[in-house]
Chains A and B, each alone.
Chain A
Amino acid sequence: MKKRKVFSLLLAAAMAAGVMAGCGNEEAPSTGGDSTETPDEEGTPDDSEKPADGKVYYLNFKPEADEYWQALAEVYTEETGVPVTVLTAASGEYEKTLKSEMAKTDAPTLFQVNGPVGLASWKDYCYDLTGSEIAGKLTDDSFALMDGDKTAGIAYVIENYGIIYNKALLEEAGYSAEDITNFDSFKKVVEDITSRKEELGFSAFTSPGMESSSDWRFKTHLANLPIYYEYKDEGINTTDAIKGTYLDNYRQIWDLYINNATCEPTQISTKTADDATADFVTEEAVFYQNGTWEYNNIADVGDENLGILPIYIGVEGEENQGVCTGTENYWCVNSKASEEDIQATLDFIDWCVSSEAGVNAMCKDMGFVIPFDTNLESENTLVNEANKYMAEGKTPVTWVFSTMPSEEWKNGVGSALTTYAADQTDANWELVVEAFVDGWAAEVAATK
């Protein structure tokens, strides 16, 4: 009886707090609403050269950088008086959010596309960035996303991914990174660790979570490799019909991931990237396929223990392959925004990559390598580890997954991978192949 009373008291308290929070918040929006009006009142008097009329609304794609963008936006607003709103879409939801936001009156002034495919649907909304200040700061023209003669997007981050590993654990198992030079040697190490799992107290791989918020690691990033090699063979950089020449390799590596992980292959549909991070940080697994952006979340393992390996899938000559390097983050300025907002947005992104505060936030806090001449030496161990492969003269794998026909295609492959993992039969792998090859053609046709 007593417990019940305590509980009901708690409930009452929670309710009261809820109501009060509700009231408290009612005031907040009104200041938010004001911010759209205040520039008109105070913008003009002090600096006539650059009136702070416009506002910036950034629809951010990278969830892991969200808090830093929020902070940076605040700094910018304090410095210039220009209001900056940052909204981050939940992962896997960018396309949906972008569409519903773009339909609104206060549409994002700054948004992202992932590459040529994303550009195709949004090119009418991309302001031509040719000749803008930020475009002039790019270290290489290839980092600009072109739509004919128009500079439609500008890459703002270069990232790497591969197989992150824990050096200490690998050593404990009796190996070092030198032992892994191709798929076969990798497989040997992995399977040896699995066979001694009990004795070692850790598994080879973190859980390959295929929960819909996290399956991009495999349906997109891992799938990049078979596509990359096929493009390389054919000497192309995009296609309307994928052949799937390297899908057997895709299967090999996927088998390795799912059968040597911390969890049963039937459980992966419920696991998230967060679970995998937890596995890695708690030292329950040696290998973790992810990218340099994950650094902040796994730094607890210790810089000296972090390394990154290329993803070998058993292709001839892969000893010379480096990690996957590229970008799927292009900034685009909404051409349908008002002129003041466009100008404010251009000023904002230029400030991000040129001012000290901006560059520091991007390079240090977010741990980005930015393709601008202001880039700072990275403090991100994973970035530095990845750069070693470049220094050794290995060929980085380019990010060709931005040529995947649609989200729909990725989802199809992802679901098929999950089904296959639960019941690893040839028939189920056929479904993956079908989703990969036929799905590609179908999606290309459907979105044309």
Chain B
Amino acid sequence: MKWKNKVSVVGTGIFTLLGIAYIMPILIVLMNSFKKKVYINKEPFVLPTEKTWNGLENYLTAIDKYELLSSVGWTVFITVGSVLVILLCTSMCAWYITRVQGRFTRGLYLLCVFSMVVPFQMVMFTLSLVADRTRLNTPWGIIIIYLGFGAGLAVFMFCGFVKSIPLEIEEAALMDGCTPLRTFFSVVLPIMKPTYISVGILETMWIWNDFLLPYLVLDLNKYKTISIAIQYMKGSYGRVDMGAVMAALIIAVIPVIIFYLSCQKHIIKGVAAGAVKG
């Protein structure tokens, strides 16, 4: 027993070091975000000194000049909006196509599965064209694009779950005179809660971090997501303000960490569940 304890202490020690090493990259960026821009590339691994300290200047530049907070705002808006719409629409759709058997629903299901494997490059140009012609090139419109392009995975996962719900409960509800709509919201939806969480988390991770789709679809004069804003800063104007880039990276990571720490249990469960089905 004693020997075992020792092993576990040593293990904890090793993993503590490993854990620190693991978050090091973020800490290095954080440290550099407080340095004056010319010193960042010169000595990235040295703590800021009095000479190189730049306080919150870099953050102010990133926020003022590159309007980073509005990018954060748009990214939050697009992510939350799209995920909610995807969850609602695809779960209803999935319930319908699992419960109503027919050539149409079968075909739709297969098409959804098929769409999951299609790489984005395949449709990048045509999708941005469709989005432009249908005026879906706004943060509101892009929600519909995300619903369309993200439907595959969501429908697939919901279908997998619906199949495991015993029919009797729903049938009982319908017998009682509930409309299918009511049945769905008061019976099916509560049972599917865990799946909602898994799907929601997978879709959130995808949309929050997505770069190419919003880059090609959104009207960049008006709206940029965080990833787009950072890519613009780096490629921007031949003169890259490394200080502002560092600050921007930190600003981009912060919401993720907050989101993660506040619902990490769900996230980890969601990922595990999602993977086993997918």
Is A–B contact present in the complex under a CB 8 A cutoff?
Answer: yes
Residues of A within 8 A of B (CB): 11-12, 14-15, 17-26, 28-29, 32, 63-64, 66, 85, 87-88, 90-93, 100, 103-106, 211-214, 216, 270-275, 277-278, 297
| CB-based contact A25/B74 at 8 Å | yes
- Is B137's beta carbon under 8 Å from chain A? yes
- Count the B residues whose beta carbon is within 8 Å of the partner chain — how many? 37
| CB-based contact A278/B38 at 8 Å | yes
Residue of A nearest to B234 (CB): A213
Checking B38, B129, B235, B241 against A91 with a beta-carbon cut-off of 8 angstroms, the contacting residue is B235
Residues of B within 8 A of A (CB): 38, 41, 69-70, 72-74, 76-77, 125, 128-129, 132-133, 135, 137-138, 216, 219-223, 232, 234-241, 251, 254-255, 257-258
Contacts of B241 in A (CB 8 A): 274
Q: Shortest distance in angstroms between B263's beta carbon and chain A's nearest beta carbon? A: 15
| CB-based contact B236/A63 at 8 Å | yes
Given known A22-B73, A63-B238, A274-B240, contact A87–B220 (CB-CB < 8 A): yes
Q: Which of B220, B236, B254, B257 counts the most chain A CB atoms within 10 A?
A: B236
| CB-based contact B236/A22 at 8 Å | no
| CB-based contact A26/B255 at 8 Å | no
Given known A11-B254, A105-B133, contact A272–B222 (CB-CB < 8 A): no
Q: Shortest distance in angstroms between A69's beta carbon and chain B's nearest beta carbon? A: 13
| CB-based contact A93/B72 at 8 Å | no
| CB-based contact B73/A19 at 8 Å | yes
Given known A29-B222, A104-B132, contact A274–B72 (CB-CB < 8 A): no
Contacts of A216 in B (CB 8 A): 238
Please measure, in the bound complex, the distance between the C-alpha atom of A93 and the C-alpha atom of B232, giving whole angstroms: 10
Please measure, in the bound complex, the distance between the C-alpha atom of A66 and the C-alpha atom of B236, giving whole angstroms: 11
| CB-based contact B70/A21 at 8 Å | yes
Of the A-B pairs whose beta carbons lie under 8 Å apart in the complex, a sample of 17, sorted by A's number, is A11-B254, A12-B258, A14-B254, A18-B255, A20-B73, A23-B73, A25-B70, A26-B73, A29-B138, A66-B237, A105-B132, A213-B235, A213-B237, A274-B239, A274-B240, A277-B239, A278-B38
Contacts of B219 in A (CB 8 A): 104, 106
| CB-based contact B73/A25 at 8 Å | yes
| CB-based contact B73/A272 at 8 Å | no
| CB-based contact B73/A93 at 8 Å | no
| CB-based contact A213/B76 at 8 Å | no
Contacts of B223 in A (CB 8 A): 29
Give me the 3 closest cross-chain CB pairs, A-B, nearest first. A22-B73, A274-B239, A63-B237
Q: Shortest distance in angstroms between B270's beta carbon and chain A's nearest beta carbon? A: 22
Contacts of B251 in A (CB 8 A): 14, 18
| CB-based contact B235/A90 at 8 Å | yes
Contacts of B138 in A (CB 8 A): 29
Checking B72, B222, B258 against A32 with a beta-carbon cut-off of 8 angstroms, the contacting residue is B222
Please measure, in the bound complex, the distance between the C-alpha atom of A391 and the C-alpha atom of B159, giving whole angstroms: 80
Contacts of A21 in B (CB 8 A): 69-70, 72-73
Q: A19-B76, A22-B69, A100-B128 are in contact. List 17 more A-B contacts (CB 8 A).
A: A15-B254, A21-B69, A21-B70, A22-B74, A24-B73, A25-B73, A29-B138, A32-B222, A64-B237, A90-B237, A93-B235, A105-B133, A213-B235, A213-B236, A213-B240, A214-B238, A272-B239
Checking B128, B132, B133, B238 against A213 with a beta-carbon cut-off of 8 angstroms, the contacting residue is B238
Checking A20, A28, A92 against B235 with a beta-carbon cut-off of 8 angstroms, the contacting residue is A92
Contacts of B41 in A (CB 8 A): 270-271, 275
Residue of A nearest to B125 (CB): A103
Residue of B nearest to A92 (CB): B235
Please measure, in the bound complex, the distance between the C-alpha atom of A11 and the C-alpha atom of B258, giving whole angstroms: 8
Checking A18, A90, A270 against B73 with a beta-carbon cut-off of 8 angstroms, the contacting residue is A18
Q: Shortest distance in angstroms between A117's beta carbon and chain B's nearest beta carbon? A: 21
Contacts of A20 in B (CB 8 A): 73
Residue of B nearest to A271 (CB): B41
Q: Which of B76, B77, B237, B240 counts the most chain A CB atoms within 10 A?
A: B237
Please measure, in the bound complex, the distance between the C-alpha atom of A18 and the C-alpha atom of B70, giving whole angstroms: 7
Contacts of A104 in B (CB 8 A): 132, 137, 219
| CB-based contact A85/B38 at 8 Å | no
| CB-based contact A274/B132 at 8 Å | no
Please measure, in the bound complex, the distance between the C-alpha atom of A100 and the C-alpha atom of B236, giving whole angstroms: 17
Please measure, in the bound complex, the distance between the C-alpha atom of A92 and the C-alpha atom of B77, giving whole angstroms: 31
Q: Shortest distance in angstroms between A156's beta carbon and chain B's nearest beta carbon? A: 19
Q: Which of A19, A88, A271, A278 counts the most chain B CB atoms within 10 A?
A: A19
| CB-based contact A100/B38 at 8 Å | no
Contacts of B69 in A (CB 8 A): 17-18, 21-22
Q: Shortest distance in angstroms between B163's beta carbon and chain A's nearest beta carbon? A: 39
Please measure, in the bound complex, the distance between the C-alpha atom of A90 and the C-alpha atom of B241, giving whole angstroms: 13
Contacts of B135 in A (CB 8 A): 105
Residue of B nearest to A62 (CB): B237
Contacts of B128 in A (CB 8 A): 100, 103
| CB-based contact B77/A272 at 8 Å | no
Q: Shortest distance in angstroms between A174's beta carbon and chain B's nearest beta carbon? A: 28
Q: Shortest distance in angstroms between A404's beta carbon and chain B's nearest beta carbon? A: 18
Q: Shortest distance in angstroms between B58's beta carbon and chain A's nearest beta carbon? A: 13
Please measure, in the bound complex, the distance between the C-alpha atom of A277 and the C-alpha atom of B255, giving whole angstroms: 35
